[in-house]
Amino acid sequence: MLISRRAVLGGGAAAGIAAGLLPMPGLSHLAFAAGGADRGLLLIVHIRGGWDGLNFISPASDPDFMAARVAELRVLDDGPTPGVALPNGPDPKIDFRLHPAAKPLAELYQDSHLAFIHAAGLTNATRSHFVAMDMLDRGIADNGAVASTPTGWLTRYLKVTGARGGAAATSVSGSVAGEFAGWPSALAVPSLDGGFGPPGGPQATQVLRRLYGAAPGDIGAGGRDALAAMAEIDGKLPRDAQQKPIAYQPDHDVNYDPAADFGRPLKTVAQLMKMDLGLEVATVDVGGWDTHENQAGRFQDRVGRLANGLAAFWNDTSRYHDRMTVVVLSEFGRRLRSNKSGGTDHGRGGVMAVLGGQVAGGRFYGNWPGLAPDRLDEGVDLAVTTDYRRVLTEVLERHSPDRPPTGVFGSYTYPGPLGIIRRAA
């Protein structure tokens, strides 16, 4: 089942399992190694709709910021609900504050597991959601190169590392993420609550096995891999006496409920990690951030879900921390000045976040350009000073130190690491 990008932006897309049976051509088949050891996890959390980084982490004491934006769309340094002060901000002269609804992330930052990169994003000036998402999915910054870049950047990364098929590449969603375009065996796993298999039950599974068993080339191989992975996952689910799947029990009495719709896919990622299926790269989409109107209340709700979800996931996966990296990014930020509808329109620079046991957290990375009128992009936006590909390249180097991610981002020239990932002693 396919879902539209517009539905993803609204966060209301329906889930379907059949997407895992639609392999994409363009790469040679890689066999599924069932029951392989987990080589570590890279989780990409894509905030769809344009994340207002200035409302998530505000330069609270910046006079240019205070003059340009109404208090309701700023994180304040006083009053009944002040933001959380973050030490080691990108400008020592400015008090950077984390949104009060994101307090669950403050401890991760203070414990040096979470790092932020402000003024990050696409170097392309597009303000179209769909164009920007296409470029992010493909790992490029040139709109004109979208048509000539048929594969996703995670597909190219998996090809470099020699990853297996099956569950190695999984989107916890109703459809395979664009980052996996061209990976024949990418899976879409919307949920494991009711088991995991093709719609239609055992009869449909038998039909699909006969269909893909006789199919040649990548299509047949991808279908066989998907069916084998589904059977492996479903077979590892604990069941009761009536063979109904038993609800997943997180570690350490972790509760995903405060994260609502964002907690459910994160819980599924954690469950897949613990099955020892060889999961290497997973993606999760979270929609509802296109805040053109009434942003204050909507944004607070979304931030709370994001923060509670990431904190729950971190606590639930404690034994994987040293082998796990989570990257949070969005297609662009939002305008510095709010509009007349109490919201913000499409902008440029935003925030990226990196979480993991090997992350040199508790600080910001990249350069802060400031919000003075002469420092704004096109006179209206926070400028992009850190290309999103620089952050991703550094993270990929950590996950494949023996196989540098050369060519993953095409012609992009990598200037070197920012220091987000701790170097080996």
Measured between alpha carbons, how far is 382 from 362 in angstroms, rounded to an integer?
A: 23
DSSP 77: S
Residue % of the chain over a pLDDT of 90: 75
Task: Identify the pLDDT of residue 37.
Answer: 39
Task: Identify the pLDDT of residue 107.
Answer: 97
Over its C-alpha atoms, the chain yields an Rg (Å, rounded) of: 21
Residue % of the chain over a pLDDT of 70: 90
Task: Identify the pLDDT of residue 77.
Answer: 96
Q: Which of 66-80, 190-204, 213-227, 235-249 has the lowest mean pLDDT?
A: 213-227
Confidence of residue 39 (pLDDT cuts 50, 70, 90): low
Helix 153-161 with 388-399: angle, nearest 10 deg? 20
Q: Which of 5-9, 285-289, 295-299 has the lowest mean pLDDT?
A: 5-9
Confidence of residue 20 (pLDDT cuts 50, 70, 90): very low
Confidence of residue 15 (pLDDT cuts 50, 70, 90): very low
Q: Identify the helix (H) or strand (E) that includes residue 329.
A: strand 324-330
197-215 pLDDT per residue, tens: 887 788 888 888 888 887 8
Task: Identify the pLDDT of residue 424.
Answer: 66
- Residue 423: is its pLDDT beyond 90? no
126-140 pLDDT per residue, tens: 999 999 999 999 999
**DSSP for 94-162?**
S-EEE-GGGHHHHHHHHTT-EEEEEEEE-SS----HHHHHHHHHHT-S-GGGSTT--S-HHHHHHHHHT
**Do 300 and 99 form a contact (C-beta atoms < 8 A)?**
yes
Q: What kind of fold does domain 5-399 have according to CATH? A: Alkaline Phosphatase, subunit A (3.40.720)
- Residue 180: is its pLDDT beyond 60? yes
Q: Which residue has the higher pLDDT, 260 or 16?
A: 260
Mean pLDDT of 6-17: 32
- The mean pLDDT of the chain is 89
- Residue 23: is its pLDDT beyond 50? no
Confidence of residue 13 (pLDDT cuts 50, 70, 90): very low
Confidence of residue 404 (pLDDT cuts 50, 70, 90): confident
Domain ranges of the chain: 5-399
CB burial class (10 A; 0-12, 13-18, 19+) of residue 110? Answer: middle
Strand partners, 175: none
Structure tokens belonging to residue 193: 């609550």
**Do 294 and 218 form a contact (C-beta atoms < 8 A)?**
no
Task: Identify the pLDDT of residue 59.
Answer: 98
pTM, two decimal places: 0.90
Q: Which of 146-160, 201-215, 302-316, 329-343 has the lowest mean pLDDT?
A: 201-215
**Do 171 and 141 form a contact (C-beta atoms < 8 A)?**
no
Confidence of residue 26 (pLDDT cuts 50, 70, 90): very low
Q: Which of 83-97, 167-181, 203-217 has the lowest mean pLDDT?
A: 203-217
Mean pLDDT of 234-243: 94
Q: Identify the helix (H) or strand (E) that includes residue 387.
A: strand 386-387
Measured between alpha carbons, how far is 200 from 179 in angstroms, rounded to an integer?
A: 28
Confidence of residue 122 (pLDDT cuts 50, 70, 90): very high
317-365 pLDDT per residue, tens: 999 999 999 999 999 999 999 999 999 999 999 999 999 999 999 999 9
Task: Identify the pLDDT of residue 218.
Answer: 72
